[in-house]
Amino acid sequence: MSRIPIALQLYSVREACQADFPKTLKAVAEMGYEGVDFAGYYGFEAKDIRRMLDDLGLGVAGCHTGIDTLMGDELARTVEFNATLGNKYLVVPWLPEQYRSSPEAWRRTADLFNEIAAKLEPSGMVTGYHNHWEEFTPFPTGQIGWDIFYSYTHRGVIMQIDLGNAMHGGADPVLYLKRYPRRATTIHLKEYAAGKELVIIGDGDVKWHEVFDVVESQGATDWYIVEQENYPYPPLESAERSLKALKAMGK
């Protein structure tokens, strides 16, 4: 398969974005990132962000968007904004308790995402879900929310697995990449180290070469996305060091 480009989830450098969004985008491009994944727009309009991205040669690897913006009258506005931005990946980063409180709730949530995906299809956009650790905590029945959700959603609902968050929840992300093949259209590359918080990519327990072997053998992933939430170095430096570590792995 062709090489998978690497983007940065801008939540990783959110304070820099808040202080000077255009300058931060420029710094991200200069590090060598090929795209960005949004978690907010810092007061800028889609057309202005698109112009900045085009000037910097950055692609759009997705945005984290609340579930409420994908329902009712909000959906059309969300589609219009993201069409201007040049983004087709509308990924929900978190769900309120009522969507995930029981196996039955996860079934209903899966049905909802299937409906949203069908409505997005004419625009060429997809929706999906980004895990934290709770999705891998078994219910008393032994069922796991992540399995329920991806067993009952169709392929129009992408699986944005966050490697570090999955491991925090006791899950093996390689197993899930194999269990739901070709669903991980975008992947959050986050390091995890048991008993440690301040690590960058390559300094923890993620089996990176196993991850890459599985993902690249399936040939269905459009973007690798680096996300850093805890910082052994200043946030921008941590992002740059993680990218350099991936480059050293041949990515």
Mean pLDDT of 202-220: 97
The model's pLDDT over 48-57, given as tens digits with 9 standing for 90+, comes to: 999 999 999 9
Percent of the chain that is helix, strand, coil (3-state, to 5) = 50, 15, 35
Q: Where do the domains of the chain lie, and which CATH numbers do they carry?
A: 6-248 (3.20.20.150)
Mean pLDDT of 117-131: 98
Confidence (pLDDT) at 2: 87
What is the spatial distance between Cα 76 and Cα 174, in angstroms, rounded to a whole number? 36
Average pLDDT score, the chain: 97
Mean pLDDT of 192-221: 95
Mean pLDDT of 204-213: 97
Instruction: Pinpoint the alpha helices (H) of the chain.
Output: 14-19, 21-31, 46-56, 74-85, 103-120, 145-152, 163-168, 173-179, 208-218, 235-248
Query: For residue 1, is pLDDT > 70?
Result: no
**What is the share, in percent, of the chain residues with pLDDT greater than 70?**
100
Confidence (pLDDT) at 7: 98
Mean pLDDT of 3-25: 98
Angle at 217 between CA 212 and CA 220, to 5 degrees: 90
Burial bucket for residue 97 (CB in 10 Å: 0-12, 13-18, 19+): exposed
Torsion angle, alpha carbons of 21, 233, 90, 136, to 10: -160
The model's pLDDT over 149-206, given as tens digits with 9 standing for 90+, comes to: 999 999 889 999 999 999 999 999 999 999 999 999 999 999 999 988 889 999 999 9
Confidence (pLDDT) at 112: 98
The model's pLDDT over 47-90, given as tens digits with 9 standing for 90+, comes to: 999 999 999 999 999 999 999 999 999 999 999 999 999 999 99
